[in-house]
Structure 1
């Protein structure tokens, strides 16, 4: 006899981040700021990291604090000696770390072959490797270790790019380290999953009017995707932040996944 499901069987308890510590590395930029705004509304305790734009970070902090949000700032490049540990230490002053999203990176714009020397290309590749892979990876791994030490479940979200999951012309310097980050996230999900209950996932944004793609959108680089109806519109920071929030959900059952937020561009182009 087939068992009949009834509505009373399903328990959709709220999985709120209110009062929970969330670290947003590179969180003062467009995508990070949108995520910070969303989490602040929910009552999360935020530590926002930034590399150099202190004015922008302080403006974001001020706006969020006007709505009684708890927002702390930390300045520093993730690849500076001791900075990863400092991020973790500062987060611990707010309480147990249960969520982290890493927006840190560098767009590493491509140059024409005529304008690029082998030496310059090597320098760009090395710079991108540190900014787009090594720093974010080391922070993600250290945060996962901290969550294990705390004995708490947690969620880590790494921000990649659609260029990490599909080929685009002249994108190697930027896309290759991001693709490495995608694979590293899967490895971390494997290593820290199971009974540790620490989820590690990736969000790969497409063409958005905020974040690293904003300059390319303004220059008309992706206009033909709109004209040919490959995508219905350009993405917004809110599109990405909602997915990040989903993956940060406490006790999430999602791990080791890559969610591409690109309006179908990599599917239909």
Structure 2
């Protein structure tokens, strides 16, 4: 059962933010015993240190996967996630750095394959987000370049690095956003990059499905992750998500289940598709 904790005003001075500083703490914990849906799978989760990435790492570990997480610089959060995965009886490799650098993206995938001997599932989950309303005042070159590098270019780099290691039966799941489908006048640059990542997911599915590699996406609505205090002023964070039809924000564990469905055997007839954990917002598929 999902909880609906009251979210007080708060903000952070970094993007992405730090889960360890959020009040209340995001709820990442899996709800049910594992049944081996990811048994013996090697999974790389980018942006795996916190938020949706952390919840997905915990759930996949419970289902039998060994995990590698790539993250930008939030080492404390990454170490917390590593312990969470290990407490599930699995193993977690942590890899720090900017995936917008092609050399680093190549190195991350190489380290995963060198360490585990294979790569079965790729979850591309990292991103950058900035408020940019009004756009003529707030969307600086630095902000735009950061989002394009993180949300578009790095997706190509990670996918290109991973492809030689993904065999028939492999799966890729890409995090998107409700904003790719309905837009957002306060997140114009971010929404634009999410439109690009949606097209990227669908194009990669067209390219790879015939090879036995499924590519799908998850487009969350308002989820309580470090993105939120890392992006918004304190007054906008208060009661975050209350405008959804369900009247609350989602928790990371509620999104991780969509990743498990698409990556695992239950999603075997899905490719090029998007799941929408967004609290009841109706959007085009």
**TM-score, normalized by length of structure 1?**
0.82
Over 3 Å counting, the alpha-carbon distance change for 1:62 and 1:180 in structure 2 is: same
Deviations 1:69-121 (A, max 9, x none): 111111111112411211221221213211111111111222545743xxx63
CA distance in 1 between partners of 2:171 and 2:142 (Å) = 33
Structure (1 or 2) with the greater strand fraction = 1
CA distance in 2 between partners of 1:26 and 1:193 (Å) = 25
**In the alignment, is the contact (CA less than 8 A) between 2:129 and 2:187 conserved in 1?**
no
Measured after TM superposition, the shift of residue 232 of structure 1 is 4.0
Aligned residue pair count: 247
Which residue is 2:74 aligned to?
A: 53
**TM-score, normalized by length of structure 2?**
0.78
If asked which structure has higher relative contact order (CA below 8 Å, sep 6+), I would say 2
Structure 2 unaligned spans of 5+? 1-34
Measured after TM superposition, the shift of residue 170 of structure 1 is 2.6
Which residue is 1:207 aligned to?
A: 222
Q: Helix, strand or coil for the counterpart of 1:226?
A: coil
CA distance in 1 between partners of 2:233 and 2:56 (Å) = 21
Counterparts in 2 of 1:153-164, with a 5 A limit?
153-164=169-180
Measured after TM superposition, the shift of residue 66 of structure 1 is 3.2
CA distance in 1 between partners of 2:102 and 2:158 (Å) = 12
Moved more, 29-38 or 259-268: 259-268
The answer to whether the aligner puts 1:253 opposite 2:269 as a matched pair is yes
The answer to whether the aligner puts 1:88 opposite 2:145 as a matched pair is no
**What RMSD, in angstroms, separates the aligned Cα atoms of the two structures?**
2.5
Which residue is 1:136 aligned to?
A: 155
Structure 1 unaligned spans of 5+? 1-13
Measured after TM superposition, the shift of residue 245 of structure 1 is 0.7
Match of 2:191 among 175, 187, 196: 175
Greater Cα radius of gyration, structure 1 or 2: 1
Moved more, 101-110 or 183-192: 101-110
Moved more, 156-165 or 14-23: 14-23
